[in-house]
Amino acid sequence: MSDSTLRHLVLCRFTEQTSAAEVASISADFATLKHSVPGVLLFECGVNVSPEGLDQGYTHCFRLDFAGTAERDGYLVHPTHLAFVERFKPWLAQVLVLDYVAG
């Protein structure tokens, strides 16, 4: 990946009713977007392990990398991504999305 890679971070706080199995299912579904939406260079996810206590309740981070803004913009409106977002919403208490250019 180049130093101009656009990174798309999605931080999630799930509802109290969301089970660990549901979070695992959501994460697995999210990962499939790399293979079904053009332009996704990388997908990774993880659980917050910071000892600082500054997470404000966000427990999971999802990262997608794109070659640039055009690829990210295509992803945002892609029907597969939009359908995933609609399925995902009921389990979210809060979401924070940040995009930045690496480098």
Q: What is the pLDDT of residues 6-18, one digit of tens each?
A: 999 999 999 999 9
- CA atoms 14, 20, 24, 29: torsion sign: negative
| Cβ within 8 Å of residue 51, ≥6 positions away | none
Contact assessment for residue 94 and residue 38, using Cβ atoms and an 8 Å cutoff: no
**pLDDT score at 3:** 59
- 39-93: per-residue pLDDT in tens? 999 999 999 999 999 999 999 999 999 999 999 999 999 999 999 999 999 999 9
**CATH 3.30.70.100, domain 6-101, yes or no:** yes
Which pLDDT score is estimated for 102?
83
| DSSP-derived secondary structure letter, 45 | E
70 burial type by CB count under 10 A (0-12 exposed, 13-18 middle, 19+ buried): exposed
